[in-house]
Amino acid sequence: MAAVLRYQAEGPVAQVRLDRPDVRNALDADLIEQLHSTFDRLADDPAIRAIVLSGEGKAFCGGADVAMMRESLELTREQNVAGGRAFSKMFRAIDRCPKPVVAKIHGAALGGGSGLVAVCDIAIAASDTVFGFTEVKLGIIPAVISPFVLSKIGASHARALFLTGERFDAKRAQAIGLVHEVVVGDTLDVAVERVVTEILSAGPSAIAAIKKLIARVRETAYDESLELTAEATAMQRVSPEGQEGLRAFLERRPPSWK
């Protein structure tokens, strides 16, 4: 299997870079598998407290690989289903990673590339980035990414953008909630570093608990979430980290994790 993903740990921060710049970091079977396995590994690494996902070259991610789409013409329905499951599980691994994931987006994020943006916790884009759920232009549909995108931007914006397949700019991506911040290209690194610094000032187990809580609450009716949220609050307050954070605040000192 070709190495199509770069990984580097910079202290508590993992830099994960899509590394197929000659094809705008298009998602093929190897890249999908390597993303999935990398995020599974990072989820269990206690030394890592934040993950930055980016792309080498001129674009963040141009979507599905053309060669892979060409090969799909010869696949059976069952083989296409298996490929779709692998694609979905990769997105799920990023979406449910207990570490905060920051997307550093430039150039283009199209199709599955916009799906990657949707599963990151914090998305920061250069102002000249182009986005789009372009599958319909090829006569196919954004089915695998739809649960994650709908959760991020809602059904109204998904209807408008899924059905037209139109490309849109970073300003619109921010307006619909796909990205959180838009910056001039040469300040992208500075903006990402600022956000990572904020993450590192927060309690790591509290962050993991919050990510788990968000995922469960959005899938739960209120009566069930009432007990879920009360229990989660109590568990974190009595945890060693919760106790240390509260004591540090009251004693006007930095907590131990800073």
- Helices of type H across 55-133: 66-72, 77-95, 112-118
CA–CA separation, 79 vs 129, rounded Å? 34
Q: What is the pLDDT of residues 207-253, one digit of tens each?
A: 999 999 888 888 888 888 788 888 888 888 888 887 888 888 889 99
Q: Which two tokens stand for residue 243?
A: 């106790």
Name the band, by pLDDT with cuts 50, 70 and 90, for residue 44. very high
Contacts of 223 (CB under 8 A, 6+ apart): none
Q: Distance between CA 117 and CA 109 in Å, rounded?
A: 8
Paired tokens of 6: 């770069």
Q: Which residues of 63-81 are buried (b: 16+ CB within 10 A; e: fewer)?
A: bbbeebeeeeeeeeeeeee
Greater model confidence, 104 or 219? 104
pLDDT tens-digit map of 71-98: 767 778 788 788 889 999 999 999 999 9
Q: Which residue(s) pair with 256 in the sheet?
A: none
d(CA 203, CA 16): 22
CA angle, corner 204, sides to 201 and 209, nearest 5?
130
